[in-house]
Structure 1
Amino acid sequence: MQVIETTIPDIKIIEPSVFGDERGFFMETWHQQRFDQQVAGKPTSFVQDNHSKSAQGILRGLHYQTQNTQGKLVRVVSGEVFDVAVDLRQGSPTFGQWEGIYLSAENKRQLWIPEGFAHGFYVTSEEAEFVYKCTDFYNPTGEVTLQWDDSELGIQWPLKADPLLSEKDKVGKSLTELRNLGLLF
């Protein structure tokens, strides 16, 4: 496993060791001790795994929870997405900054997004299956949506057309609105 630093120090790209031949491949997708030592830098417990499937052009996010805050270890098992995390920790030197990387079944990369970040992804392939581990349980009463196209963030999504959004993602709030509402970390 190789851990790659990003422009936001707490977000990590993980490239697993992949062993393949004409029969297929094997890779270790999770190892508690290595993750704690090499990625999170502290003991981390995951309590929930999620799996979603989305068609090309769908954008999900940017989501986070103000209660039961979640760290997420994300990866793609089919297709490709452009994955984005936004730092919402008000005391952080990278507050309001974002990191975006391509995750795909082909590159097998994983992304660690700790608590305190909004998260979303845009499907660039015909369809994609996205799986992720969470450090806390989903709490719909604490869920917040950050506006995916907030000009203050300036996220450079690789859009080919207007993205397909859920109703809750269409009405996401700007970073300024969330700050004024006291809904940041």
Structure 2
Amino acid sequence: MAGYSRDELDEMIERWVQENKNCEAQGDWRPLAEMYTVEATYGWNYGPQQEFMAVGRDEIRDLALGQEMAGLEGWTYPYQDFVVDERSGSVIGLWKQINERTRADGSHYSPEGIGGSWFRYAGDFQWSWQRDFFDFGNVAALFVEMMSADALSPGMQKRIERSMSAEPLPGWYRIGESPVPLW
């Protein structure tokens, strides 16, 4: 496996973080798709029965960054730290998920636990692979708290209604049935 220079990986991370900030400000994460190779994959686990997988830049744009980020306007995902392996091109970015709304005590709604993304660098300032991980139980508890406090945005309410419908959404698979293995 070919290695990459630390300077190149550090520059990729800087570009990635800046583009994430730009997309958060716009409330539209789809422009991030240009930072993936044409054949890249992006997935995550969502509990004991489901996983998500987008295959190719178009699905990453339309599904992972479009469909799956819809309703998350007003959320930011500031990166806390990165772990980089120059030999393999693996990068792990640890992030928080923070909502713009606040509780009565002034604290922002944010799930406890650790969130992160595991990337594989492909050169030319593009990712070939991304897998997200987060504490599903804490995320679910936060959304229940926000529902109880009537703190969900209309977009998030629509997102929750969509996810509760019986109609399967593109990119969602039963565990082990996605077109590309999660791990």
TM-score (normalizing by structure 1):
0.30
Between Structure 1 and Structure 2, the one with more helix by share is 2
Between Structure 1 and Structure 2, the one with more strand by share is 1
Structure showing greater relative contact order (alpha-carbon pairs closer than 8 Å, 6 or more residues apart)? 1
TM-score (normalizing by structure 2):
0.30
